[in-house]
Each structure stands twice: as C-alpha cells, then as structure tokens.
Amino acid sequence: MGRLFGTDGVRGVANADLTAELALGLSVAAAHVLAEAGTFAGHRPTAVVGRDPRASGEFLEAAVVAGLASAGVDVLRVGVLPTPAVAYLTGALGADLGVMLSASHNAMPDNGIKFFARGGHKLADELEDRIEQVYEQHRTGEPWERPTGSGVGRVTDYDEGFDKYVAHLIAVLPNRLDGLKVVLDEAHGAASRVSPEAFARAGAEVVTIGAEPDGLNINEGCGSTHLELLKAAVVEHGADLGIAHDGDADRCLAVDAQGNEIDGDQILAVLALAMREAGTLRGNTVVATVMSNLGFKLAMEREGVELVQTAVGDRYVLEAMKAHGFGLGGEQSGHVIVLDHATTGDGTLTGLMLAARVVATGRTLADLAGVMERLPQVLVNVPDVDKSRVQTSAELSHAVAEAERELGSTGRVLLRPSGTEPLVRVMVEAADIEQARCVAGRLADVVKSALG
C-alpha cells in the first residue's frame, strides 16, 4: 500500500479511493494512536468534526463520527464550516482532536480527511505514519479493542461553532470595514455563510457570488481557481475589491476595483507592511516558498523586511514559522498564515485583514499591491524524464548557470522535480516576458536531452 497521507491529509475520489470503510478505519486508528501517545491521558477524549458541502461529505462525516465514537471519543459535530474554523474550534474548545472532511480546491468528486492535533495544529508526520501503520494492521485482521456501555463516545451537534468562529474573526481585526464595498466569491464551498457574515458584521457592504452550495457545485467555475466571475462582478457592482476563497476557505485571492488579480505574493506584501507598521511582524520577517515571484523578494528587500524561503507547500512555510517564531507566511496560491490568530491558512481572516488595510490607509487595493511588481513568470513542464537526476546532471547545471548569468539580478531560474509525476518543472522569471519564454524553452530542451 502506498502512503495514504499526502502533504494535506488523505485525499482521493470519494467512494472509490476514499471510502466509508477507509474513513471509519482511519478515525478508529487515529483515536488509538493518540491514546497510545498519551494525548487522552486522564480524561475522556473529545473531537471536533466538520466538513465542506460536498455530497460525499455527508456519508464520510457519518463514517468518521462512527469510528471515533466507537473508539470511545466524544464528538462535537460542527457541520459545514471552513478548515480553519475546525482548526480554531479544536483549540478554542480544548478538544483532543479535530477532523475536517474536504478536498479543498479539488473538483467535487474528490474528498479528503485532515486531522488536527490538540490546539488545532496539524498532526506531526510521525503520528500520521503511525495512524497508517495501525490502520493497516487492523484492516488485515487484528481486532480492535472496543469500549462498551458508558465507554462509547457520545455525539453532539455543536451549532454554536459558526458564531464562535465569526466572533473570533471580528475580534482580531485591527479596524472596522465601514464604508467598504466588497464582492465575495465563496466557491459554493465551506465559507458560503461564514465569510459574508463576518464581512457584514465588520461593517462592509457585501455582494456575494458562488454562495449557493448544493453539494455538487463546489469550485465549479468559481472561487480562487476561477477568478473570471469575481473580476466581472467587482467591476459591475463598482466594488472596492473582491475576495475569492477555495472550497474549504483556507485560501484567499483578491481582485482590485479595476478587476485585476491580486495574488498571494501581493497579499503577503501588503500584510507584511501593515503588520510591521503595527509592530506585530515578528522578527521583521515574512516566510514564503521558492515559487514566490522574484518581484516579491525584491519588494521586501527594498522595504527592509527579511524574507525566509522554503520548499513548496504551506506545511513547509508553517514549519519554518514555528521553528523560528515568525508570525506571517504564505504562498502565491493564496495560503496565508497569520500565526497570532490562526494555526493554519485562513482565507476569510486573510480577506478581512486585507480589507481592513484598505480602510485604514484610505488607499486603493491596487495602490497598496503596487508595493511589488510581479515579474513575468514562465513555467514549462517537461514530462517523461528521470527527475531524480536534476541535481546531479553536469549538462543541466551548466545550462542553468548560463541562464542565470544571462538574466542577471532581475531574473531567476528554478528547476523542480514534480512530487507526484515523472516530470520536471522549469520556471523562469525575467523583467521581459519574451526573454523568460526564450530561456525557459532553451532549458526545457536541455532537460529533455540530459534527463530523457
């Protein structure tokens, strides 16, 4: 069996890869592993379970709840809420475990299971590995030890989770949003009620699109992966800005009043300067991945903000933030983590903080985002090559060095083996798009000949 846990929980096609049996078995295994690790010592354990609106989330939630309760864990079922809301409630309610059922920005047929440890933090890799090991051990025959009588877990619907989470979002905002008109694209996902409610309570005039989930339409032509509808709606309604989430609302991308996209790098730049001004930018540092636009790095250098770069993936950003005590980090895709107020990327919080900065400064979002110039970025995927030799090929190293000399300080080359496919990604940035395309094409040819 291949590793079940990826970088963001267990994910696959619901009822094909991710079955009710798997969801139930993993939940029982998680309960046993956490008990074994001492997480439940001396008290009756509690778990918070939430989901996004996917149709498959209904039966998968039932399986997870059944698995946990059968293992003696009391369950607080919070219903349809964003991933960061489940993480927050896990911490705020003092629960021992959080479980979110979502496949984030993936298409509707997919679903996923993500576990949170006490405090709302991602489970450590070694605990995920142990859960897999224990699950497999019992799947192939070894019976579980099961509580009976009063030892079985009890299941309660925790309807207060919605208000508790929204109140938390409002409480951490630096200022109100009165006088601001904003369009919210909820991707027919988990934030369809939460985000409009939070923005309205904060004083904004709110127009919503993509906020009518029916279980089948999540991420369909809308949300942070499809900004066309939001761009048109912002211009049509004469709004100050637009905010787009993905299906589980851990991401946020934005649109300015003219309908131009504001990506995660630009959002990070705006928030970094806002937090520095407020004295809350820990270590005067922001954490981003190596895929961040070179324009972001140059802007932070110019503004005197330190930049720490990690491997691609919000988990690596979070690891670096925790290891060094930094408070702000994120990805170009819109995963933004503000550790003072959230344990994971929170798209609604990010959108609120961005909107608050617009109100506080009296400047437009386009003006604020202008702190960085996005340099043209060309990405070429080279398939069917031996990606394991990227670091060892002398021919490739020479070609990269030549390209870097040609681009100078206003350009950048990044070769990255895919984590899941037999291909190498060639990324080139340059001040001029034609130069970026030319260099990327040349490097892609070298990758084919050297690694093919």
Q: Give the separation between CA 404 and CA 176, rounded to whole angstroms.
A: 46
Residue type, 198: A
Residue type, 306: E
Query: H or E element: which one contains 156?
Result: strand 155-157
Task: DSSP letter for 104, please.
Answer: T
Under a CB-based contact definition with an 8 Å cutoff, are residues 436 and 377 in contact? yes
Query: H or E element: which one contains 289?
Result: strand 285-289
* Beta-sheet pairing, 110-117 with 205-209: unpaired
> Is there a catalytic annotation at residue 104?
yes
Residue owning tokens 């059968």: 70
Catalytic annotation, pick one of 56, 102, 104, 195? 104
| Sheet strands (E) in 42-96 | 46-51, 74-80
Point out the annotated binding site: 104, 246, 248, 250
Cα dihedral value 424, 429, 434, 439, nearest 10? -50
Collapsing DSSP states into helix, strand and coil, what is residue 117?
strand
Q: Give the separation between CA 218 and CA 102, rounded to whole angstroms.
A: 11
Under a CB-based contact definition with an 8 Å cutoff, are residues 272 and 284 in contact? no
Nearest one of 249, 273, 271 to 262, comparing CA atoms: 271
| Sheet strands (E) in 194-247 | 205-209, 241-244
Structure token digits, residue 24:
């139930």
Point out the annotated binding site for Mg(2+): 104, 246, 248, 250
Structure token digits, residue 255:
């649109």
Active site residues: 104
